Amino acid sequence: MDEKKELTRGEELRRALSYNKKNGYDRMNPQELEPMEAYCTGYKQFLDAGKTERECVERAVALAKDAGFQPYERGMALKPGDKVYRVNRGKAVMLAVMGQENLDKGANIGAAHIDSPRLDLKQSPLYEADELSFLKTHYYGGLRKYQWVTIPLELHGVVALKNGDVVRVSVGNGEGDPKFTIDDLLPHLGVEQSKKALSEAIPAESLNILVGSRPLADDEGSDRVKIAILELLNRKYGIVEEDFISAELSAVPAFNACDIGFDRSLIGAYGHDDRVCGYACLAALFQLDTPRRTAVCMLADKEEIGSEGVTGMKSAAFDTFMADLCAGQGVSLRSCYEASFCLSADVTAAYDPNFAEVYEKRNSALVNYGMGLCKYTGARGKSGASDASAELVAYVRKVLDEADVVWQMAELGKVDAGGGGTVAMFMAERNIDTLDAGVPVLSMHAPFETVSKLDCYMTFKGMKAIYEA
């Protein structure tokens, strides 16, 4: 038998003291491959069912009911193990699994957002130009306009009528449905366009969705194509043009989630940011029985435009939900918050070797290296960051390591290259210890984003560990 080679002093020190990142596939138990695939299948189904925040809420509630959750009503008596949810105006949802300890010991919170960059219709969107009919849009969130032309689009949303009825609209993802698109200039005539910066080549006011070309028959009036479209809409939905004023209609990419790569190791889809973390928060919550501390999942709206409004993370809706839970135990909201922990579950940028110049690789998240922890987000001088304490990061490291979660530290990119924020700062402002974490994403904010199955699964696993801590 060969004797083991004796290590040099330098080799011993490197082994004992150095931190070396390893690919997640070299670290995870091979027995987890099958559960990982099963989890990702459920996630892809969630994405296909939820192309808007309203649809995500509907899907989340359906899954929650299947998992034994019931609507929460103020004053409801709750005991450990009870599972409840509250929907905020159809666009956000809060869920809780009551813990063994009272809420004065705090709660473990997972907070994510379910809105994604998209094109919203303006309040007077429908028009005709040279016998083609279009819908005018206003882009939502930080998208790159040039990526949204010449791709197939779906139309989702609601139209609220003056009589109180709300008409649901979903066109493009059903069997045999038509789709929509936005035109671009042909390269033969695009010489001047090609000289422009990417941000200027496609002006926002040219993001007009092509919706029809057939004129109304037996008519000699103006806007024959527009009138024909209105007739179709009236026949199917019972709406008239004025009803667009009280509508929320969004154009989203007509892509269903799919596996990417010969090895099927990646998932391509619209809306990974941030439904990939929203689903992880949900799915992990559904795995709980009776945790030590109450576990709370918050799926918020409006993060892509600053978390504003009554359904965003700045809203008092979350505080009201938590205050109601606390009141049932005679606990003050303040004492609950100051003892709580929140994982702000939002995506981070995955290092892309094709654009290496904007990343600082040493501190970037790598694909297949697991859940990305972000001590701080923000821009340049940490503007807009909650910047978690060293003690908090150490606590999360311990929790994840004990649960065999593959994780890594992450930073959005080079300091001077730009930056971005999450809901973390708004949770931290409530006096809740908060750390950012999430799935690394390639092509973030594009109509078609890419994530790793391993990173998705490890984020779910990490979220479950946090709930159970």
Cα 154 from Cα 156, distance rounded (Å): 7
Question: Given a cut of 80, is residue 462 above it in pLDDT?
Answer: yes
Angle (CA) 365-366-368 rounded to 5° is 125
Pairing verdict, β 266-269 and 92-97? unpaired
Locus of tokens 């709406």: 239
Q: Are 35 and 457 in contact (CB under 8 A)?
A: yes
Sort 346 into a burial class: Cβ within 10 Å, 0-12 / 13-18 / 19+.
buried
The arithmetic mean of pLDDT across residues 86-100, rounded, is 97
Token pair, residue 398, equals 């311990």
Token pair, residue 227, equals 């009138």
Question: Given a cut of 60, is residue 2 above it in pLDDT?
Answer: no
Pairing verdict, β 433-438 and 341-345? parallel
273-282, 307-316, 412-421 — which is least confidently predicted? 412-421
Model confidence at 4, in pLDDT bands (50, 70, 90)?
Answer: low
Do 21-116+270-468 and 118-253 share a fold? no
Pairing verdict, β 294-300 and 107-113? parallel
Percent of the chain past pLDDT 70, that is, above it, reads 99
Locus of tokens 């649960």: 403
Residue 381's pLDDT is 87
- Is the bond preceding residue 274 a cis peptide, omega within 30 degrees? yes
Model confidence at 219, in pLDDT bands (50, 70, 90)?
Answer: confident
Residue 432's pLDDT is 96
Question: Given a cut of 80, is residue 1 above it in pLDDT?
Answer: no
Beta strands per DSSP E along 221-265 = 247-253, 258-260
118-253 domain in CATH 1.10.10.10?
Answer: no
**What is the rounded (10 degree) CA torsion for 217, 223, 229, 230?**
-110
Question: Given a cut of 60, is residue 191 above it in pLDDT?
Answer: yes
Rounded to the nearest angstrom, the gap between the alpha carbon of residue 186 and the centroid of all alpha carbons in its chain is 34
The arithmetic mean of pLDDT across residues 418-440, rounded, is 92
Mean of per-residue pLDDT scores for the chain: 95
Residue 412's pLDDT is 87
Q: Are 127 and 134 in contact (CB under 8 A)?
A: yes
Angle between helices 453-468 and 33-49 (to 10 degrees): 90
Q: Candidates 3.40.190.10, 3.30.2140.20, 3.40.630.10, 3.20.20.140; correct CATH number of 21-116+270-468?
A: 3.40.630.10
Residue 222's pLDDT is 87
Would you list the domain boundaries of the chain? 21-116+270-468, 118-253
Locus of tokens 């957002």: 113
Residues 6+ apart with CB under 8 A from 32: 457
Pairing verdict, β 407-409 and 419-420? unpaired
The arithmetic mean of pLDDT across residues 7-20, rounded, is 90
The arithmetic mean of pLDDT across residues 255-264, rounded, is 97
Amino acid 331 reads V
Buried b (16+ CB within 10 A) or exposed e, 433-450: bbbbbbbbbbbbbbbbbb
Q: How many residues does the chain have?
A: 469
Model confidence at 213, in pLDDT bands (50, 70, 90)?
Answer: very high
| pLDDT tens per residue across span 281-333 | 999 999 999 999 999 999 999 999 999 999 999 999 999 999 999 999 999 99
